Chains A and B, each alone.
Chain A
């Protein structure tokens, strides 16, 4: 028994080292911009860069739009599948997994071919329309996470009975979704939202090929041209991602409270 504990700990140690050493090294490097002393100079330079502010807020805005589109798309879909077409769940699950299988590069080339300025739907014809296309692309990209999160949330409530209880009281489907279903799976929806946020903030391929001023291409640009700032940016991105994950964990603590007691 002691032996197996030892094994477990050493495996854990190896895993942690694999993960932590590059992170610590990057962090250490990001502090060495000023010669001979540790400083936050690289971070100051990053935050002072107007392109950082512009691309960061652009991507944050796109992320929020993506979350809204994702929720409007996924919550009703997952709800109706659970309520009316439970036998289709495996198929829907497979479809939502497709964005993980199809590389973003293929997705974006498809978009460019389908929606170019001489097509029926010239999404790439104007900046605003391209932004819209970007949001839809990101909504697709985050579909596997969003769908899973929402579906997990729906599993914790009795969708059928709650829907019937609200229906017999006179509610219509929109009211039921907005007042009963969404509030009860809010924690799950938020965790999907934070994952979406993390994905959108770091995405490079689609934003770059649609030539939008997003944070991902900016990261790449800085990475190719500077020494210390990329390290600082990597740490900042890491904090954003893990901040999002941490928030999910925090929110999950509030989840059990909404479940009804049966006794």
Chain B
């Protein structure tokens, strides 16, 4: 990890005795798109605001390109930021909003105008120069806020839940647009969100936070498929949890509602008669029709949710129920409610969580 663009070193933040960030240690490479993901109140905004310089860390340092910026004031940091509440200047039109950072930096007028036009083209709002913020939709305002942040060519971009005030459809199209622009400019970006789907879909790497601590830092693929903790496993993606009783700890067998199966991942510490939680993703489970899976369970279909290309089924196993996804097949209707089915799970996809 020699060539770090941004390092956050053992950062602690307390608000009057209440510590909300506990020694966070992170390093990001140049041009990376990083998401800070976690439930509301876990300290995402606080970390972002320390990078921006709006909050001073109680302990630790922030280093950008080898320089300690911990005590640099925010207007010296050359960082672009987009806020949840847009925060466009209501008294200025779109062009003046985007040009504000350039004007403050003393960029000559004609150069600034060219840069504003370039930014408007980038966000697809050419011709909107003279509009005022109150004349724009939420999505348009947020694009202008993005252009305003990018116009002075900042060395990194921070976004604090920029999409959460928008409706679902615009949210998806705008996040793709943000990612495309970020790729085009190659700008190091930190994106704060509490929406795991958002984080998984656009990030190079994700920092999963819980209660002011880093739970996991990895690619979306790693975070989703190899969650480092129970928190990550349950917070990111949909997870099936089955309560099972250890039947024979030595043979690594457990009983799920009376059906005994072998779980090679059962920890050596498990003892017979103990209850363990087995977790797996919906897509790790298949209806056992040909595809050989080493765990086979019998149940009945209790719910059928047609989601379009995917159909989510809920299978009743007794006290436990399990969600699984099957692909829509135009020629085969999905199993009806109450149909008995046999499901298969690859034991390698099962995670055992204690308790």
Which A residues fall within an 8 A CB radius of B? 157-158, 161-162, 164-172, 175, 179-180, 183-184, 257-263
> How many B residues have CB within 8 A of the partner chain?
35
**Which residues in window 30-76 of B have CB below 8 A to A?**
52-54, 74-76
Pick from B54, B74, B89, B165: contact of A262, CB below 8 A: B165
CA of A165 to CA of B52 in the docked complex: distance in angstroms?
A: 11
Q: Are B86 and A170 in contact, with the CB atoms below 8 A?
A: no
Q: Which residue of B lies closest to A185 (CB)?
A: B91
Q: List 17 interface pairs A-B (beta carbons < 8 Å), by A numbering.
A: A161-B85, A161-B87, A164-B52, A165-B148, A168-B81, A169-B75, A169-B152, A170-B75, A170-B104, A170-B152, A179-B100, A258-B134, A260-B86, A261-B134, A261-B136, A261-B138, A261-B141
Q: Which residues of the other chain, B, contact A180 by a CB distance below 8 angstroms?
A: 89, 91
If over half of A's interface residues share one DSSP class (helix, strand or loop), that class is named, otherwise mixed; here it is helix
A144 to chain B, nearest CB (A): 27
Lowest 3 CB-CB distances: which A-B pairs, in order?
A169-B101, A183-B91, A165-B87
Pick from A169, A170, A179, A258: contact of B90, CB below 8 A: A258
Pick from A161, A164, A171, A261: contact of B133, CB below 8 A: A261
B284 CB–A CB distance under 8 Å: no
Q: Which residue of A lies closest to B151 (CB)?
A: A169
Q: Are A169 and B88 in contact, with the CB atoms below 8 A?
A: no
Q: Are A158 and B91 in contact, with the CB atoms below 8 A?
A: no
Q: Are A175 and B74 in contact, with the CB atoms below 8 A?
A: no
CA of A96 to CA of B89 in the docked complex: distance in angstroms?
A: 29
CA of A172 to CA of B75 in the docked complex: distance in angstroms?
A: 7
Question: Given known contacts A164-B74, A262-B85, A263-B137, is B104 in contact with A169 (CB within 8 Å)?
Answer: yes
CA of A148 to CA of B231 in the docked complex: distance in angstroms?
A: 50
A17 to chain B, nearest CB (A): 43
A25 to chain B, nearest CB (A): 46
Q: Which residue of B lies closest to A161 (CB)?
A: B87
B271 CB–A CB distance under 8 Å: no
CA of A259 to CA of B138 in the docked complex: distance in angstroms?
A: 13
B168 CB–A CB distance under 8 Å: no
B105 CB–A CB distance under 8 Å: yes
B128 CB–A CB distance under 8 Å: no
Q: Which residues of the other chain, B, contact A172 by a CB distance below 8 angstroms?
A: 75
Q: Which residues of the other chain, B, contact A179 by a CB distance below 8 angstroms?
A: 100
